[in-house]
Every structure is written in C-alpha cells, then in structure tokens.
C-alpha cells in the first residue's frame, strides 16, 4: 500500500480560526501529529503528556491537546500531538475512527463507513 496525503483543516476548540494542511494518512500512528508551533499559533493548549513508541522503536513523550478537525466538510473534536517543529503533519487512526473513515489503499482515498452499535449477548 502506498502512502497518500489528504487536506484537513485544524482549528481551535472554539472554532474561531483554522489552518489547512496536507496530512499524511498514517494508520500506524495512534494520534494525529502537527508541528507544535502550528498548534500554538492556533491557541491550542496542551492538556496532557503521553508516551509514544516511534518508528525506530525509541520511546518519546509529547504534549497532547484537543482541537477541531475538518475533513471533507465534516467537523469533529480530536486529540493532537504537539510534534517537533519539523514534523510532517500526520492523520492518525484515532481521528480516522472518530470520523468513521477507512483507507482505500487502491484509490488512495478515505471512505466513510457506518459506525457500529451492536449489543453483545
């Protein structure tokens, strides 16, 4: 499966300002990552710190905050990682799940799928 990017808009919790970025769709990343200076510019504040295992198996701790994300005209609140200034924006699995999106690897696009509400037992 090749990689691809999608345009997303990221904004503050109040929805006063947004910026558009092309984010690499990365189902191997739990959370969405943007450069910390971009999030600070939007007024997004860290609310927690969390540990992440990186692609090279190193462990790193990053600040995490909440923001509004728009994808394909839909808007949800999702967690964001305050990444290093040079990091490329990544759209992670948590945001994909919040938006009920799955990856179409052949067409290199995101597809909306129904949510599940099944009773057990």
Domain assignment of residue 118, yes or no: no
> Is 14 contained in some domain?
yes
The domain total for the chain is 1
pLDDT tens by residue, 42-58: 999 999 999 999 989 99
Per-residue confidence (pLDDT) for residue 120, from 0 to 100:
75
**Inside any domain, residue 25:** yes
pLDDT tens for 10-26 read 999 999 999 999 999 99
Per-residue pLDDT, 8: 98
Rounded CA separation 82/78 (Å)? 13
With beta carbons less than 8 A apart as the criterion, state whether 13 and 77 touch.
yes
* Residue numbers in the chain where pLDDT is lower than 70: 1-2, 121
CA dist 94 to 17, 25, 78, 120, Å?
A: 22, 11, 8, 23
Dihedral, CA of residue 89, residue 92, residue 94 and residue 98, to nearest 10:
70
| pLDDT at res. 121 | 63
Q: Residue 29: inside a domain, yes or no?
A: yes
Q: Is residue 18 part of a domain?
A: yes
Residue 121 lies in a domain: no
Residue 45 inside a domain? The answer is yes
Which structural domain range is residue 102 located in? 5-112
pTM: predicted TM-score of the whole model, two decimal places: 0.90
CATH number for the domain that contains residue 69: 2.40.70.10
């Amino acid at each position: 499966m090749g990689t691809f990017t999608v345009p997303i808009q990221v904004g503050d919790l109040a929805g006063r300002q947004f910026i558009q970025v092309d984010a690499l769709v990365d189902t191997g990343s739990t959370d969405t990552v943007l450069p910390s200076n971009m999030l600070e510019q939007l007024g997004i504040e860290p609310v927690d710190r969390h540990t992440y295992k990186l692609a090279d198996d190193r462990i790193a701790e990053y600040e995490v905050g909440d923001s509004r994300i728009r994808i394909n005209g839909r808007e949800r609140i999702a967690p964001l990682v305050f990444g290093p200034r040079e990091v490329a924006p990544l759209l992670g699995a948590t945001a994909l799940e919040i938006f009920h999106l799955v990856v179409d690897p052949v067409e290199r696009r995101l597809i909306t799928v129904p949510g599940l509400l099944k009773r057990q037992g």
